[in-house]
Amino acid sequence: MKEKEKMELEHIIREEIRKLEFKINDLKDFTAPIAPDNAIGRISRMDAINNKSIFEASERNLQNRLSLLNQSLQFINDPDFGVCIKCRQTIAMERLKIRPEIRYCAECLKK
Ligand SMILES: [Zn+2]
């Protein structure tokens, strides 16, 4: 990978990390502990619990992606960065720009 491409990707990764951290922070409001029945009523408490589990699931997804991106950032100067871990082909730059955390080329991902 060219030095210029690497710098571009590093920039993209840092931007993504910043956005994800922002989103996760936003979700914190919705995943806070829920007040007891007598404070908000039973039905709205059930609603709150449902919503909370949806928000918790998306928070988990975001956390996962965040840790993958952080890994990519540590890995970016490695000669294997941007190389498919299965077939050793170079992963297309266009794909890396969209998902810098991917480790497989398009072909191997299909299989
Ligand atoms: Zn491959």
The predicted model scores a pTM of: 0.83
Residue 38 has pLDDT above 90, yes or no: no
Residue 1 has pLDDT above 90, yes or no: no
* 53 belongs to a structural domain: yes
* 105 belongs to a structural domain: no
* 57 belongs to a structural domain: yes
Residue 111 has pLDDT above 90, yes or no: no
Distance between Cα 41 and ligand 1 center (Å): 54
- Surrounding ion ligand 1 within 5 Å at CB are 84, 86-87, 89, 105, 108
Distance between Cα 39 and ligand 1 center (Å): 55
Mean pLDDT score, 73-86: 93
The per-residue pLDDT for 17 is: 97
Instruction: Give the chain's domain count.
Output: 1
Distance between Cα 13 and ligand 1 center (Å): 22
* 102 belongs to a structural domain: no
- Taking all residues of the chain, what is their mean pLDDT, rounded to a whole number? 93
Q: Which are the contacts of 20, defined by CB distance < 8 A and separation ≥ 6?
A: 62, 65, 66, 69
* 104 belongs to a structural domain: no
Distance, in Å, from the CA atom of 22 to the CA atom of 77, rounded to the nearest integer, reads 26
State which residues form the domain around 48. 3-78
